[in-house]
Amino acid sequence: MRKLTLALLLVCVMTLCMPLTVYAADYQVPTAFPKGFNAPIDETKGVAVGGFGGGAGIITHNPVIFVHGNTRAANDWLSVYKYFLSKGYTPNELWAISWGYNSLQNIDANDENIGDIKNFVEEVLRYSQTINPQVKKVDIISHSLGPTIVRKAIKVYGLEEKVGTHVMIAGANHGMELCTPGINVVCDELYPNSPWVQALNSPVENPAPIKHVTIYDGTGKYDKAFLGDRIKDSPAIKGGINHPINIEQKLTLAHDDLRIHPAAMELQYQSVKEDLIEQGK
């Protein structure tokens, strides 16, 4: 009985000594944006962009914005969002945007959507600064068409000082052999060595001070967007931190798996977790 009493006392003391913290497990994944967040108008559809994020918690990391690929939506990132919550991020540090048409009947191009990325970055920063005035940058994790849209938005709108780390997953940074001119609007941009691709990568592929990270197949066997030796390293960035994850970790991840496989999610987290900021006074 004495041992049991001491054990209970120890538990009580430890509980009283613990700070009153809201733990990741207590957070729910939001289904929309919070009150006070002004969702930008989608420049292709003329209505507010969709997505989810924010609404609870402090901000001690750069807020992370998840950017999906062509014909997709913000829900592509639900698994990754939950993974980041499990690692200690709060909803106010995590945002997912739905840009474009989310429809196979309406293929989206890069150039027509870059304004949505710029406006979303600026609104996440504005909202975040109402919670922590020390927030100066966001981190971005993008997939598929997302990397080239984000890179073009950074280039056109001069967002270099507003983005800390850009993690690019399976992006066509040097084009796709699936594309030839005339197939659709995005292929007109992204066929290998196209004028659009050349302009995107000039004069440098990794403009300072952004940290550029890539995650991709690397074998030329498993991601159908980059099959074969000639195009297998298209997602890599010169001067960036490049992870051909199927080679590094002896995996066989396909295009979507590169976003949601546990090893890929851990690599995304490791790439941004040190982007810390002081808590607002």
Task: Assess if residue 61 is contained within a domain.
Answer: yes
What pairing do the DSSP bridges indicate for beta strands 94-98 and 50-53? antiparallel
As a dihedral over the C-alpha atoms of residue 40, residue 185, residue 256, residue 225, rounded to 10 degrees, the angle is: -150
In the chain, which residues have pLDDT < 50? 1-23
Write out pLDDT tens, residues 251-277: 999 999 999 999 999 999 999 999 999
Is residue 12 one of the residues assigned to a domain? no
Does residue 127 form part of some domain? yes
Q: How many domains does the chain have?
A: 1
Cβ contact 46:122 at 8 Å = no
**Can you tell me the distance from the alpha carbon of 125 to that of 142, in angstroms, rounded to the nearest whole number?**
18
Token couple for 30? 């939001």
Report pTM.
0.90
13 found inside a domain? no
CATH number at residue 264: 3.40.50.1820
The confidence score (pLDDT) of residue 1 equals 41
Residues 6 or more apart whose Cβ sits within 8 Å of residue 155? 200, 207
* Beta-strand pair 138-143/94-98: unpaired
Residue 105: the pLDDT is 65
Residue 59 located in a structural domain:
yes
Token look-up 């918690």 returns: 57
Tally of CB atoms within 10 A around 206? 15
Range of the domain at 230: 27-272
- Provide the pLDDT for residue 103: 72
Q: Which residues of the chain form beta strands (DSSP E)?
A: 50-53, 64-67, 94-98, 138-143, 163-169, 211-216, 241-244
* Angle at the Cα of 155 from the Cα atoms of 149 and 157, rounded to 5 degrees: 95
| pLDDT computed for residue 280 by the predictor | 54
**Residue 278 domain-assigned?**
no
Residue 3 in domain: no
pLDDT of the residue at 43: 87
pLDDT score recorded for residue 16: 33
In a domain, 10, yes or no: no
